């Protein structure tokens, strides 16, 4: 399957921003701006905080919007005495399509190990939710030139004992930590180097057909001014967008990256 048959995914990770009332206003603005032409070309998703999900679901269901939504994290456990956690069955009941897993902020501030990330990937699949698995190197690793081996080790860990029937649905977001929220965007060539290596590793772990169908996103200071250049690379199938996704007009421009100049 060629890259052109992979529908690009533009996913806005709101992080810990926008309360449930702001979420409604935000999704309404997106819904007003986005057209069937946009949705036919690009899959659009938002990842709001847990407390917003019910509001977003009500809006999407009620108005039959083509925007998809998901969570920013998922518990490795399906139920039980895990105070503060939100489970796969809960997210599935809210009709979440996606959940981010292993975002660098979860790894850095919440001590998420490869084992935890792997358990969360399995929890998502067990509950019919598509993981957006986040991987990527920090600045020290990049300076040492070890970005590919570091990121592939994260992919290996996250996919340990994940069968092909599940893995074929995963979305992987390559997010170099040094480019997140810093304005330091990776060059399109940087993004392609690691996204291409991830696809090659998927072919080794599973097979070439599966690898050709998995969407691999880039994340890290994506804006409307740089999205087209990154998206022009053959192994980049979309973006996980943080700061710029909080501005509905800017997010819509990113969804319409084909209308922007390749910078």
Ligand X SMILES: O=C[C@H](O)COP(=O)(O)O
Residue ranges at the known binding site for substrate = 13-15, 181, 221, 242-243
CB contact at 8 A, 173 and 218:
yes
Pick 185 or 211: Cβ nearer ligand X: 185
Minimum distance, C-beta of residue 113 to ligand X, in the bound complex (Å): 19
Min CB(135)–ligand X separation in Å: 12
Choose the catalytic residue: 105, 137, 175, 250: 175
150 classed as catalytic: no
b/e for 103-126, b at 16 or more Cβ within 10 A?
A: bbbbbeeeebeeebbbbbbbbbbe
Residue in 48, 88, 176, 243 binding ligand X, rule: CB under 6 A: 243
16 Cβ contact list (under 8 Å, min separation 6): 49
How far is Cα 243 from Cα 234, in angstroms, rounded to an integer? 25
x-marked contacts with ligand X along 160-189 as a string, rule CB under 6 A: ---------------x----xx--------
The CA-based dihedral angle spanning residues 96, 254, 120, 103, taken in that order and rounded to the nearest 10 degrees? -140
In the list 221, 236, 250, 257, the residue contacting ligand X (rule: CB under 6 A) is: 221
Among 70, 88, 188, 219, interactor with ligand X by CB under 6 A = 219
The rounded distance, in Å, linking the Cα atoms of 156 and 118 is 9
Q: Is 136 a residue that touches ligand X (CB under 6 A)? A: no
DSSP-derived letter for residue 50 is G
Q: Which is nearer to ligand X, 147 or 210 (CB)?
A: 147
Provide the annotated active-site residues: 103, 175
């Amino acid at each position: 399957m060629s890259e052109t048959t992979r529908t690009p995914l533009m996913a806005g990770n709101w992080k810990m921003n926008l309360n449930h009332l702001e979420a409604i206003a935000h999704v309404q603005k997106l819904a007003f701006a986005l057209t069937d032409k946009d949705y036919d070309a690009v899959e659009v998703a938002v990842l709001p905080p847990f407390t917003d999900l019910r509001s977003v679901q009500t809006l999407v269901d009620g108005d039959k919007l083509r925007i998809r939504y998901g969570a920013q994290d998922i518990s490795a456990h399906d139920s039980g005495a895990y105070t503060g956690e939100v489970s796969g069955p809960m997210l599935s009941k809210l009709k979440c399509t996606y959940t981010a897993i292993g975002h660098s902020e979860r790894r850095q501030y919440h001590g998420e190990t490869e084992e935890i990330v792997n358990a969360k990937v399995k929890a998502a699949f067990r509950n019919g939710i598509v993981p957006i698995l986040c991987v990527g190197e920090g600045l020290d690793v990049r300076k040492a030139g070890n970005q590919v081996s570091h990121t592939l080790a994260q992919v290996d860990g996250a996919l340990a004992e994940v069968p092909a029937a599940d893995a074929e649905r995963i979305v992987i977001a390559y997010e170099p930590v040094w480019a997140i929220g810093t304005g330091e965007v990776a060059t399109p060539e940087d993004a392609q180097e690691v996204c291409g290596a991830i696809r090659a590793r998927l072919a080794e772990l599973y097979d070439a057909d599966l690898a050709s169908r998995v969407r691999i996103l880039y994340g890290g200071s994506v804006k409307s001014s740089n999205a087209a250049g990154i998206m022009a690379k053959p192994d980049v199938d979309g973006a996980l967008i943080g700061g710029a996704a909080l501005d509905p007009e800017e997010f819509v421009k990113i969804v319409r990256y084909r209308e922007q100049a390749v910078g």
